[in-house]
């Protein structure tokens, strides 16, 4: 298969398969959670559960001072990683065009040069995250294969995208094909890894926030 | 001093005493129940309480020792409580009150605290039975105080 | 309770997994920040105390039982089992190494209620026969005698007599139609009888009708600590039945952390129906009395003091501001330690840790966290509102040769209470 054929496949059937697996897989994971249900709480609430639930989805985005002070660099790196990834994913022109083809609407893009820089920073922050994971005592203890796999499938799209944009290593066509394939890999792996947190984080925060809201405790 | 017949009079009389006097009379209260504790640190603390010329350091040592005794004697959370042993805890607490630093009263003088803990020690004996031994302890304490003041 | 077994343990844990638990395991990204919030990790440096690690056996069961992918992996023999060895290995993490303080739950970036999961996993450990001896003893005594420390009604009555002599006030027993039903914890009855005296004086001043129940004076819920809901339910039911029978309006939970959690938040769910009465913590009641002018205070403590927030009352119970309102009325030099309020550090003795002799050394080690907080502050007195915290703190201070007296907030408030003229005896 030459670069053009690979790219055609990646743009066509490859993408379709990956998207189906991603959507079906994620739906399955979410349903697996919801199906377990939750017993209603019969104790009289002090405050509102739903309010606590919604609030917590947002308030947990920021760290508490007590914990931030313990690991400021690692926490900041986590933000760079996530924010960088989202900027690259959602604010890059060609990506927006793709989204538009699905959603029927688009939005303004950031200059490509800026995306390139953000992409580079995000790649660096991913490497930094790996270094932390390998050196931190608690992380070394907790880390499993799944953490490394999730890391790799997140890095590859960024790396290949960066290389494609900057015409590095292989021809543009090949790099683009590889980029798409790496995205497809990410989509296919995501529902079976900790990357499910992209959806379940909201559920977890909601559930804990709900209970906290009822009890009138901060969360 | 005319007879002390109730706790109001008891407390008022105690509050009129100096810290050294309170320690001394507190020690007397504790002695009345010291049979309920087998810990030698209780006697050591009482000796310190009676020793007016004791240095601050020595007093601190006595304080630490009796505090440890009280802690050791308490019943741990969830453990099978024996009221007889718990009496020892209150005796230690009473002794601790006798050597506590001045000004730490929070409204209660050391002698009063010692008296209350001593009574509580006696009450522990009643915990498993229906005896009303508490009354006798407060009466005994009024007697002790009256004798002390008259002396 | 029938004989424990590993199979029972696994089934029990399986039964504890609900949608929230599943979302937590699904969302966890192994960031490890929960460790930074846990005093058992910070003071030992041992990563096995990382909170999310404490529930690893539950995660394995979740993956295997409740995810398609997990089932497939299990069929291929790719998943770790949960067996006798697992229970043995994790027992000290789930009991000795956790006070259910809940700090981890507050800091998890994805929102996992890790301490809630640890409470749940204890059900499985108890069912598998892997609960610590001290807790088994306490729960058995609680069920059979009515108090985890074996305190019986005559003992309470003896203290009531003692109280009557000291204050002239009576402690009503089994009074129908009283407004408040006051519960006591065995720790208070045995070690801090000043609490009951303070209650009597405050209630008298406030002019409120109150009572204790002869059949249910105990507030401590050992079932919650060991993690056996059946026991927890039985103990709560005694209180609920008494409260219903006496027709009280409000049940007051004493200065004991887990007692409050059990009766206020767990109780209705344990018995399967809402209560016909309110439940308040004593601090909430005192705050109410003060703000409504039912009781007044006079004078102030001028010693430099600080307040230790009992985890179950503050972080998990929502009673954070009330003790501060009260302290501000009677203390002129009240300073806050760092991380005060919801994020305060546990004393290390909660959640059954202090009832577990095997955990004594660990408990003293983790006290270093509280020690650091106190040393940074340099106070003369420490105020708290939980009898268990109080003793744990006393032990820690003694071990570290720190001379800081500890006093209970209710007791302290009573010291500055403006009281109508009353005779001593």
Which CATH number covers residue C375?
3.40.50
Those of residues 395-414 in C touching chain B at CB distance below 8 A are 395, 398, 401, 403, 405, 407, 412
pLDDT exceeds 90 at position C148: no
Tokens of C312: 């179950």
Task: Label residue C406 by pLDDT band (50, 70, 90).
Answer: very high
What does DSSP say about strands C406-408 and C381-384: parallel, antiparallel, or unpaired? parallel
Question: Which whole number is the average pLDDT over A47-76?
Answer: 94
What does DSSP say about strands C278-281 and C381-384: parallel, antiparallel, or unpaired? unpaired
Contact B77 C398 (CB under 8 A): no
Nearest Cα of chain B lies from the Cα of C164 at a distance, in angstroms, of: 10
Indicate which of C111, C249, C339 best probes the interface with A, i.e. most A CBs within 10 Å of its own CB: C111
Tokens of B48: 């310190």
Residue C362 CA: distances (Å) to CA of C275, C354, C366 = 38, 10, 6
Indicate which of C149, C352, C419 best probes the interface with B, i.e. most B CBs within 10 Å of its own CB: C149
Element (H, E) at C210: strand C210-211
Question: Which whole number is the average pLDDT over C350-375?
Answer: 94
Rounded distance between C-alpha atoms, residue C37 and residue C119, angstroms: 17
Task: Label residue C363 by pLDDT band (50, 70, 90).
Answer: very high
CB-nearest partner of C26 from A42, A70, A196: A196
Question: Which whole number is the average pLDDT over A121-140?
Answer: 97
- Within an 8 Å CB–CB cutoff, is residue B89 touching chain C? yes
Q: What SS3 state is found at B60?
A: helix
Rounded distance between C-alpha atoms, residue C54 and residue C94, angstroms: 6
Question: Which whole number is the average pLDDT over C92-121?
Answer: 96
Q: What are the boundaries of each domain within chain B?
A: 7-150
Partners of C106 on chain A (C-beta within 8 Å) are 64, 218-219
State residue C424's pLDDT score.
38
Would C93 be classed as within a structural domain? Answer: yes
pLDDT averaged over chain C? Answer: 92
pLDDT exceeds 70 at position A129: yes
Which chains sit next to A, with 3 or more Cβ pairs under 8 A? C
State residue B105's pLDDT score.
53
What is A3-36+48-215's CATH number?
1.20.950
State residue B119's pLDDT score.
87
Pick the residue from chain C with its C-alpha nearest to B100: C405
DSSP string, C119-176: HHHHHHHHHTT-S-HHHHHHHHHHHHHSSTT---HHHHHHHHHHHHHHHS----BS-T
A83-114: string of b/e by CB count within 10 Å (b at 16+)? ebbebbbebbeebbeeeeeeeeeeeebbeeee
**Residue B129, phi then psi, degrees to nearest 5:** -130, -165
Element (H, E) at C384: strand C381-384
DSSP C353: G
Question: Which whole number is the average pLDDT over A34-63?
Answer: 94
pLDDT exceeds 70 at position B133: no
State residue C10's pLDDT score.
96
The reply to whether C329 and C372 lie within a common domain is: yes
Rounded distance between C-alpha atoms, residue B135 and residue C160, angstroms: 12
Residue C331 CA: distances (Å) to CA of B80, C76, C158, C297 = 37, 65, 33, 11
pLDDT exceeds 60 at position A144: yes
Task: Label residue B134 by pLDDT band (50, 70, 90).
Answer: low
Angle at C70 between CA C65 and CA C75, to 5 degrees: 90
Nearest Cα of chain C lies from the Cα of B122 at a distance, in angstroms, of: 9
State residue B128's pLDDT score.
67
- Looking at C224, C258, C291, the residue that finishes a domain is C291
Task: Label residue C378 by pLDDT band (50, 70, 90).
Answer: very high
pLDDT exceeds 90 at position C335: yes
C261 and A215 Cβ atoms separated by less than 8 Å = no
Alpha helix (H) residue ranges in C207-359: 222-226, 229-246, 257-260, 267-271, 282-291, 321-330
Contacts of A98 (CB under 8 A, 6+ apart): none
Element (H, E) at B135: helix B134-150
What does DSSP say about strands C381-384 and C305-308: parallel, antiparallel, or unpaired? parallel
Partners of B129 on chain C (C-beta within 8 Å) are 154
Those of residues 295-334 in C touching chain A at CB distance below 8 A are 315-318, 320
Partners of C258 on chain B (C-beta within 8 Å) are none
* pTM for the predicted model, two decimal places: 0.92
Pick the residue from chain A with its C-alpha nearest to C345: A66
Task: Label residue B131 by pLDDT band (50, 70, 90).
Answer: low
Those of residues 47-86 in A touching chain C at CB distance below 8 A are 56-57, 60, 63-64, 66-67, 70-71, 75, 78
The tens digit of pLDDT for each residue in C241-294 reads 999 999 999 999 998 888 999 999 999 999 999 999 999 999 999 999 999 999
Q: CB atoms < 10 A from the CB of C170, how many?
A: 12
Pick the residue from chain A with its C-alpha nearest to C110: A201
Contact C67 A137 (CB under 8 A): no
Question: Which whole number is the average pLDDT over A153-157?
Answer: 97
Partners of C37 on chain A (C-beta within 8 Å) are 66-67
CA proximity to A124, closest of A88, A176, A70: A88
- β-sheet bridge partners, residue C218: C184
Indicate which of C14, C16, C21, C23 best probes the interface with A, i.e. most A CBs within 10 Å of its own CB: C23
Measured in whole angstroms, the distance separating CA C420 from the mean position of its chain's CA atoms is: 34
Q: Which of B98-112, B133-147, C65-79 tops mean pLDDT?
A: C65-79
Task: Label residue B7 by pLDDT band (50, 70, 90).
Answer: confident
Partners of C352 on chain B (C-beta within 8 Å) are 78
Q: What are the boundaries of each domain within chain A?
A: 3-36+48-215
Contact A194 C69 (CB under 8 A): no
Contact A32 C342 (CB under 8 A): no
Element (H, E) at A66: helix A65-68
Alpha helix (H) residue ranges in C148-193: 153-167, 186-191
State residue C267's pLDDT score.
94
B7 and B116 Cβ atoms separated by less than 8 Å = no
- Within an 8 Å CB–CB cutoff, is residue B23 touching chain C? no
Beta-sheet strand order (sheet of C406-408)? C305-308, C381-384, C406-408
The tens digit of pLDDT for each residue in C167-180 reads 889 999 999 999 99
CA dihedral over C153, C157, C158, C162, signed as positive or negative: positive
- Looking at C102, C131, C160, the residue that finishes a domain is C131
State residue C137's pLDDT score.
87
- Within an 8 Å CB–CB cutoff, is residue C138 touching chain B? yes
Contact B11 C424 (CB under 8 A): yes
Rounded distance between C-alpha atoms, residue C425 and residue C166, angstroms: 6
Contact C110 A35 (CB under 8 A): no
Contact A36 C53 (CB under 8 A): no
Question: Which whole number is the average pLDDT over A56-85?
Answer: 95
State residue B132's pLDDT score.
61
Pick the residue from chain C with its C-alpha nearest to A60: C109
Nearest Cα of chain A lies from the Cα of C225 at a distance, in angstroms, of: 19
Supply the range of the domain harboring residue C360: 305-415
Partners of A36 on chain C (C-beta within 8 Å) are 17-19, 21-22, 66
C137 and C208 Cβ atoms separated by less than 8 Å = no
Domain count, chain C: 3
The tens digit of pLDDT for each residue in C178-213 reads 999 999 988 888 888 889 999 999 999 999 999 999
Partners of A41 on chain C (C-beta within 8 Å) are 268-269
Contact A215 C52 (CB under 8 A): no
State residue B120's pLDDT score.
86
CB-nearest partner of C425 from B7, B86, B127: B7
State residue C161's pLDDT score.
84
pLDDT exceeds 80 at position A2: yes
Percentage of chain C lying above the pLDDT 90 cut = 76
Question: Which whole number is the average pLDDT over A24-52?
Answer: 95
The reply to whether C330 and C398 lie within a common domain is: yes
Point out the least confidently predicted range of A19-33, A62-76, C24-38, C152-166: C152-166
C260 and C253 Cβ atoms separated by less than 8 Å = yes
Partners of C69 on chain A (C-beta within 8 Å) are 191-192
The tens digit of pLDDT for each residue in A161-212 reads 999 999 998 899 999 999 999 999 999 999 999 999 999 999 999 999 999 9
Contact B123 C162 (CB under 8 A): yes
C-alpha count within 13 angstroms, C-beta hemisphere, residue B117 = 31
C-alpha count within 13 angstroms, C-beta hemisphere, residue B151 = 9
Indicate which of C136, C155, C158 best probes the interface with B, i.e. most B CBs within 10 Å of its own CB: C158
Tokens of C379: 């106070």
The reply to whether C107 and C53 lie within a common domain is: yes
Rounded distance between C-alpha atoms, residue A157 and residue A160, angstroms: 5
Would C421 be classed as within a structural domain? Answer: no
- Within an 8 Å CB–CB cutoff, is residue C37 touching chain A? yes
Q: What SS3 state is found at C227?
A: coil
């Amino acid at each position: 298969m030459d670069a053009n054929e690979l790219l055609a496949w990646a743009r066509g059937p490859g993408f379709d398969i990956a998207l189906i697996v991603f959507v079906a897989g994620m739906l399955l994971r979410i349903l697996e959670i919801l199906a377990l249900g939750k017993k209603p709480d019969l104790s009289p609430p002090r405050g509102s559960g739903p309010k606590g639930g919604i609030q917590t989805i947002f308030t947990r985005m920021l760290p508490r001072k007590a914990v931030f002070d313990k690991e400021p660099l690692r926490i900041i790196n986590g933000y760079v990683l996530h924010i960088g990834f989202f900027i690259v994913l959602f604010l890059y022109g060609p990506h927006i065009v793709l989204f538009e083809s699905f959603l029927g609407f688009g939005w303004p893009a950031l200059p490509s040069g800026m995306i390139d820089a953000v992409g580079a920073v995000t790649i660096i922050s991913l490497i930094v995250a790996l270094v932390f994971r390998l050196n931190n005592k608690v992380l070394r203890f907790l880390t499993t294969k799944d953490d490394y796999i999730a890391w790799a499938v997140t890095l590859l799209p960024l790396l290949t995208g960066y290389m494609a944009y900057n015409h590095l290593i292989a021809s543009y066509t090949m790099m683009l094909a590889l980029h798409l394939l790496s995205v497809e890999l990410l989509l296919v792996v995501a529902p079976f890894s900790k990357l499910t947190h992209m959806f379940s984080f909201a559920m977890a925060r909601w559930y804990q926030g709900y209970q906290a809201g009822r009890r009138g405790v901060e969360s | 001093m005319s007879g002390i017949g109730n706790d109001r009079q008891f407390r008022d009389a105690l509050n009129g005493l100096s810290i050294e006097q309170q320690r001394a009379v507190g020690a007397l209260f504790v002695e009345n129940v010291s049979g309920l504790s087998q810990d030698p640190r209780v006697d050591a603390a009482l000796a310190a309480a009676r020793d007016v010329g004791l240095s601050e350091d020595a007093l601190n040592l006595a304080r630490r020792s009796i505090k440890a005794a009280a802690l050791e004697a308490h019943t741990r959370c969830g453990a099978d409580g024996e009221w007889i042993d718990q009496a020892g805890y209150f005796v230690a607490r009473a002794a601790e009150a006798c050597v506590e630093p001045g000004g730490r009263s929070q409204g209660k003088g050391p002698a009063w605290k010692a008296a209350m803990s001593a009574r509580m020690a006696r009450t522990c004996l009643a915990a498993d039975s229906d005896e009303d031994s508490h009354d006798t302890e407060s009466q005994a304490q009024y007697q002790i105080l009256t004798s002390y003041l008259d002396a | 309770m029938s004989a424990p077994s590993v199979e029972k343990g696994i089934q029990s844990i399986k039964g504890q997994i609900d949608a929230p638990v599943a979302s937590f395991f699904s969302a966890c990204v192994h960031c490890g920040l929960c460790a930074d919030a846990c005093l058992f990790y910070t003071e030992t440096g041992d990563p096995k105390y990382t909170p999310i690690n404490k529930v690893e056996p539950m995660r394995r069961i979740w993956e295997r039982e409740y995810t398609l992918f997990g089932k497939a992996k299990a069929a291929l023999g790719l998943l770790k089992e949960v067996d006798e060895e697992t229970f043995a290995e994790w027992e000290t993490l789930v009991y000795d190494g956790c006070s259910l303080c809940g700090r981890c739950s507050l800091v998890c970036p994805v929102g996992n209620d890790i301490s809630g999961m640890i409470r749940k996993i204890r059900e499985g450990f108890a069912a598998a026969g892997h609960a610590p001896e001290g807790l088994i003893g306490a729960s058995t005594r609680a069920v059979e005698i009515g108090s985890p420390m074996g305190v019986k009604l005559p003992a309470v009555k003896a203290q009531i007599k003692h109280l009557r002599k000291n204050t002239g006030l009576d402690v009503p027993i089994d009074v129908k139609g009283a407004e408040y039903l006051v519960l006591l914890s065995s720790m208070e009855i045995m070690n801090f009888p000043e609490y009951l005296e303070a209650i009597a004086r405050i209630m008298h001043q406030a002019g409120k009708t109150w009572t204790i129940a002869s059949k249910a004076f105990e507030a401590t819920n050992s079932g919650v600590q060991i993690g056996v809901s059946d026991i927890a339910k039985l103990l709560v039911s005694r209180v609920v039945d008494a409260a219903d029978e006496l027709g009280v309006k409000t049940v007051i939970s004493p200065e004991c952390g887990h007692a409050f959690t059990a009766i206020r938040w767990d109780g209705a769910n344990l018995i399967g129906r809402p209560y016909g009465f309110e439940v308040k913590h004593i601090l909430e009641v005192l705050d109410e009395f003060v703000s409504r002018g039912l009781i007044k205070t006079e004078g102030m403590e001028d010693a430099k003091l600080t307040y230790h927030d009992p985890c179950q009352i503050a972080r998990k119970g929502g009673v954070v501001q009330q003790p501060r309102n009260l302290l501000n009325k009677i203390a002129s030099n009240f300073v806050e330690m760092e991380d005060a309020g919801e994020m305060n550090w546990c004393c290390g003795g909660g959640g059954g840790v202090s009832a577990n002799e095997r955990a004594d050394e660990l408990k003293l080690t983790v006290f270093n966290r509280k020690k650091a907080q106190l040393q940074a502050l340099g106070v003369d007195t420490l105020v708290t509102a939980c009898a268990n915290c109080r003793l744990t703190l006393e032990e820690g201070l003694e071990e570290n040769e720190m001379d800081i007296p500890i006093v209970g907030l209710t007791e302290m408030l009573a010291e500055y209470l403006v009281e109508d003229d009353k005779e001593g005896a």
